[in-house]
Each structure stands twice: as C-alpha cells, then as structure tokens.
Chains A and B, each alone.
Chain A
C-alpha cells in the first residue's frame, strides 16, 4: 500500500500569523516547521501502514528550509516530493491543491491520500476536497478513529450534531481532526536517519504540464486592524477571583 500524506510547512513562530502589509500575503519568512495538523496526518498514515507499505509526503513550499519535512521523515515517512517555485508565491488553496494533485500523481499508484482538516495558518479548510475533486476521489473528512479493512476505509466522522460511522472504498482522500491521534516523537536515531531520506524538489516545469487555474481572481484589497474589544481588568485570583466573577455576573444580570 502507498499512502500520500500532504505535509505543509508553516512558519515556526510563536504568535499569530501575520499579513505582510506590503505584499498583503501571509508572512512565511522565518523558520519553517511541520504544520501540527499534518503531524496528525503523518501519524495516521504511519499507523495504517504495515511492513512493505510506503508513506510519501507531498508538499508545496519554499525549498530554502525543509525542517518541517525532515521532522515528518523522522516520524517514519519514507520520502518526500516537494514542489517549490517562485511562481507559486501567494498561491490560493485551489492552486495549492492543483500542485499537490500533480505531486500525488507522480507518486501514483496510491491507495490513500491523507491531510489535516485545515492548516494551522490559513485554515480555509477547502483544500482536501479540492484535491479530491482534482484526483476524482471520494473523501472521508473530519475523521477520528480510522481503520482499514479489506480495501475499505472505516472511520468515525465528526458532524455538527455528533458523529457518524462511515465507510469508503480505496483509493480515497482522508482528512483527520487534530485530536485523532497523538503524533509520535522521533527517536534521535530516526532524526539522524531522516537526514538521508529522499526529498525530491521539483519546480512547476518538472511536473509535466500541470494546468494551474487561470489567474487566481481573488485579491486582498484592504487590511485593517479592528479592535473588537478593549481588554478589561485582569486580576490575580488570590482566593477571591470567584467573587469578582460573581460580582460581574450579578451586574450583567446573569445571576
């Protein structure tokens, strides 16, 4: 079995994502790390894979720093396909999905494509099924407990009201919620070993005629800070914090 896991490299920074006011794009300078949402995807793939199976990472990012991919390889993924091209700067999710679909096709045949439900920095949450559409695959999304049985995937899927048990033929796209499994820590030996695992860096030209959607047609026109709230008072508990809360609840007529 071959599992393709989409692995995004995101800024390895404390603090919220910033929009660069000059380019009006998410600021992705600085060190890169594996998106925590995708660490869950990698872990899921590793648990589904058995002896002889292959877990391949597919990623689209700058190639200047591959630390994020190395950490996924250290977890146990076998190799990575990284598409990197200046023309892809500021790509929207559809362009990204188109590129990842091309990367996945290079790894074909595959049995399963795994992603997180949304990235930690952009969180549009539409890429996985854009990818599924481009690869003409069904999708099992928002999955928690996942297992494979006889060429079918079974999972518990999150809904607005609870959960549902779902089943799907392979190949399919699988998206996993961030709590699905706890990603493993790589051993020192695995980290060292990951340094020599292959990362195939490709430009757009190497993907062989991938048709990017014509000009993105979405453009940021305005960025403004909007302090919705002014921070109020912050007090230390010191044994009386609950009384301050009671006071405010009473004033707000909740109590």
Chain B
C-alpha cells in the first residue's frame, strides 16, 4: 500500500504516523510545510519517509489549505492508497480541506489501523474509551484517516531512507499569520512526562491552578488542564489534554477537580495509573481511577502540597 502522511513538522505526531503508515506495508511519503519538513528531513527519513513533499509559501500563513491543495496534486499524479493526518489544529484543517476537495470521506480520531483487501480498517473509541468501534473504509482511493496522538509507537525504520525532497507550491487563498506566541514551558513536555498533574474546574481559581503547577513541579512532572480550566483563563492552551489538545501517557495521572468528560478522557488513555479528586461522587473520572478521593480540591490540594514538601525535605 502506498501511503502519504501529512506532517506539521518532524514532530512526535509525525513519527507516530510514520509508524502507522509503515505498518500498512509499502512506500511512505510525507507532505508538509516546507521549512519544517526540510529542517526535519533527516529524522523523517530515519523513520521511513522515502519522499518528502515540501510545500512552499507556508511560513507566514495558516498552512492546512495550502498543504491539502499540494497533496491533491500528488494524489492526481501518483497512485496513493491512503493519506494519514494527525489531529493537530493544522492537521485537522488539511484533513477537512482534502476530504472536501476530493469528495472522499474521512475516518477521524483513529487509534488503530489495518490494511484490508479493499481498503482500511480503522479503530476508534467513543464514550471515553469504554466503547471501541471498528470502521471499514473502502471505495475509491485514496482512503483518508486522521490518527490520535500516542496511538502508535515511534520507531526508526530498519532500513532508514535518504528521502527525496520535492518542492511543491499551491495557490489557494488562506489566512495570514501576523505573529506567533509560544507559551513558555518549564519541566518535561506533557507528552513525555512520567507524572502529569491535571487541574479542572474544581481547582476553583487561577491561584488554585498555580498550586496544580507547583505540585507538578515538586513531583518532577508536567501540569495539564482540562478545557474548563483553560476556558476560565487559569491555564494556557498548550496545557490542554483531550480531544482538542494533547494525549498523555504518564505512569501517574493525577486528576484534580475534573469530571472526566469523554472529550478530556480521550487524551489520557495511555496513563498507567489514574488518581482522582473530585467533589462529586458520581464524576465519571472515578470509573477510571485506581484511587478516587471524594472531596474538595481547594481543601485537599494545599494539604497534599504541604505533605509532599515535607516528604521531599525529609525523606526518612
């Protein structure tokens, strides 16, 4: 099977998608914004990309539509069976644009992928991971799929490629980016952290969320936030875990004052142990937790912080 993979850059999601693509067998090509894919060409090659389509003119624009148009020209010229997308913001843009312009359906949020006789079998989950659905994708090629982060393991190819880089341009109208603001991060990246401390609406205030960050720091972990905490302005977007946002796979996920709504929980499937604190005994998060404490986070968190500080000061 010949697969084309959309990438934002040679980032974690790209390498995971390359693994997924290689599992289908056959050659794998990558398409993405030129600056990013050229910078990551070596890494993409080591993870199995034999061709890199570098879409020019994407540095100061919202790139999804341009890359989708460029991908369509690749699909028109070559026999491609499957196109894979990440669920990142730009990835979703590109996925929708390509699906709409080709008139091909797309299966989104895949966590598993298999080749079949006439198409693909995509695994997805709904209801916070409690229900697993398999969907057959068939009909005219190419078959379009978007895949969740952390669903596939990154792995270098047994035979690394020196990728051929092909420059592409596209001419459609897109939004211009006038400035970028990267949110500063201290400590381990969310996707890599062994410990994640997440705050939801129950942390009560911006000050409460500062305590969540403090606890993460003390445990050498990363802070995270549910959509509710971000909407309240207590945490930046970059900390969001869930359907929109990051997927995490820590050893310990500490869920403080968040209910465990399906759209959040889809981002924590990979967590080995979940500990939860919530005022509401019926919160769905308790169904996922190794240990659940029914209580007010604003009351418990200061006590927990004090205890952790004391233990770190005197481990005896």
Residues of A in contact with B (beta carbons under 8 Å apart):
16-19, 92-94, 97, 117-118, 120, 123-134, 138-142, 153, 157-169, 172, 177-179, 213-229, 231-239, 241-246, 248-249, 252, 254-255
Contacts and interface: CB of A to CB of B under 8 A. Distances in A.
Interface stretch (B33-41, B42-50, B160-168, B296-304): B296-304
A229 B252 contact: no
Nearest to B240: A158
Given A124-B108, A232-B290, A129 B308 contact: no
Contact of A118 (B101, B139, B176, B243): B243
B8 interface: yes
A179 B126 contact: no
Given A157-B89, A229-B288, A245-B304, A126 B227 contact: no
11 contacts: A129-B64, A141-B92, A159-B90, A160-B246, A164-B62, A168-B175, A225-B132, A229-B290, A234-B286, A236-B295, A241-B293
A172 B172 CA distance: 13
Chain B interface, DSSP helix/strand/loop, else mixed: mixed
A129 B274 CA distance: 35
Interface stretch (B16-24, B74-82, B178-186): B178-186
Interface in B216-264: 219, 221, 227, 230-232, 236-238, 243-244, 246, 251-252, 254, 262-263
A245 B291 contact: yes
A90 B300 CA distance: 46
Given A164-B180, A234-B281, A217 B137 contact: yes
Contacts of B204: none
Contacts of B139: 214-215, 217
B95 A221 contact: no
B113 to A, nearest CB: 14
A123 B90 CA distance: 16
Contact of B126 (A16, A134, A165, A177): A16
B103 to A, nearest CB: 5
Interface string B273-297: 1110100010010111111111110
A144 to B, nearest CB: 8
- The SS class assigned to the A binding surface is mixed
Count chain B CB atoms within 10 A of each CB in A214, A216, A249 and give the residue with the most: A249
A246 B308 contact: yes
B73 interface: no
B88 interface: yes
Contact of A17 (B95, B127, B138, B251): B127
A172 B175 contact: yes
B206 interface: no
Q: How large is the interface on B (under 10, 10 to 19, 20 to 34, 35 or more residues)?
A: 35 or more
A167 B227 contact: no
B99 A126 contact: yes
Given A158-B244, A165-B180, A244-B293, 20 more contacts: A93-B105, A94-B99, A94-B105, A97-B96, A97-B100, A126-B106, A129-B96, A160-B89, A162-B236, A162-B237, A166-B175, A226-B131, A228-B130, A228-B269, A231-B292, A232-B292, A234-B291, A238-B295, A246-B304, A249-B252
Given A172-B175, A177-B244, A129 B65 contact: yes
A116 B269 CA distance: 25
B286 A123 contact: no
Contact of B182 (A161, A226, A234): A161
Contact of B96 (A128, A214, A245): A128
Interface in B131-154: 131-140, 146
Given A129-B65, A223-B132, A236-B294, A229 B274 contact: yes
